[in-house]
Homo-oligomer: A and B are copies of this chain.
Amino acid sequence: MTRTVISSATKEVVIGFDQPFVMIGERINPTGRKLLAAQMKEGDYSLVEQDALAQVAAGAQVLDVNAGIPLADEPKILADVIQLVQSITDVPLCIDSSIINALEAGLKVYKGRALVNSTTAEDEVMEQVLPLVKKYGAAVVAISNDETGISEDPDERFEIAKRIVERAADHGIKPEDIVVDPLVMPIGAISTAGRDVFHFIRRLRSELKVNTTCGASNIGFGLPNRHAINNAFLPMLASAGMTSAILNPLHEGLVPAIKAADMLNGVDPHCANWIKTYRQPPAEGQGRQRGRRGRRSA
């Protein structure tokens, strides 16, 4: 039973085969969000704060934090944002940057055991990121592409993921501290994108025995009714054995879809989490009280 343990100063989250699916909130990311990018660049983190609190309230167990703004001081901004988010929430963070100095700046100030997002199988990237992951005792997202780009063949991508796991071992990082991202392709462009990723995830789980994550919403790129695609895709990813995803927990229907999948996959014992989340409280003054003493509702 593979378990990737990450933590904040006070809270541990386990990504694992026998665990509820871990939702990693994707919102704190200026890519494609002009206002957020402009604010972050000016050191104004009011939107970051809102996004952090709203995602945790919606059910995110981990938050991804990205500060990739062109021409900005990414290491400083990323460190600032991490400190801010850790001061107002207790969830572990996923430190997301393609710049090694930013990752290190983030790891330096981070309290707990972070998830580093990410390394690829490119030699240069692995040789920068993996020593950092080891130095800070973090876990790491491994993206299954290399110098040759992204293969369309999921079995080739499996070999690439395997190579990262092997290289990580050379650096003293265990397989259970690697969360493989199979790279979801847009199904509007590649008709087999769904089946490919399900097949790949099943192999990652049964053969490489690693946890998995992905940016799920890419599947519906360019198609209408994208939310509905995501809401079906996530339970299907969970069926294939995926154990976490980077997503927007504020999208309608997505969190219930994942919590239902947990229940159906047997990782919500006695449906306890489902019932706790969705049980209707008795409506006040709406005829629920009968008799003089009323009815005590749990």
Contact = CB atoms under 8 A, between A and B. Distances in A.
Interface of A: 187-188, 191-192, 194-195, 198, 219, 223-225, 228-229, 231-233, 235-236, 238-240, 253, 256-258, 260-261, 263-266, 269-271, 274-275, 278-280
Contacts of A266: 191-192, 194-195
A270 B235 CA distance: 22
B239 A236 contact: yes
B264 A187 contact: yes
A223 B268 CA distance: 13
11 contacts: A187-B263, A187-B264, A191-B271, A194-B263, A198-B239, A219-B264, A223-B278, A224-B279, A228-B278, A232-B256, A232-B264
Contacts of A257: 228, 231-232
Nearest to A279: B224
Given A188-B271, A263-B194, A256 B228 contact: yes
Contacts of A229: 260, 263-264, 274
Which 8 pairs show the lowest CB-CB distances between chains A and B?
A194-B264, A232-B260, A228-B256, A225-B278, A239-B239, A232-B235, A224-B278, A232-B257
Nearest to A196: B266
Contact of A265 (B194, B224, B258): B194
Contacts of A191: 266, 269-271
Copies in the complex: 2
Q: Which of A261, A264, A279 has the most CB of B within 10 A?
A: A264
Given A191-B269, A198-B264, 20 more contacts: A187-B263, A187-B271, A194-B264, A194-B265, A194-B266, A223-B271, A223-B275, A223-B278, A224-B280, A225-B256, A225-B278, A229-B263, A229-B274, A231-B232, A231-B253, A232-B235, A232-B260, A233-B235, A235-B239, A253-B253
A236 B232 CA distance: 8
Contacts of A263: 187, 194, 229
A264 B278 contact: no
A280 B192 CA distance: 24
Nearest to A274: B223
Contacts of A192: 266
A219 B264 CA distance: 9
B228 A253 contact: yes
Contacts of A270: 191
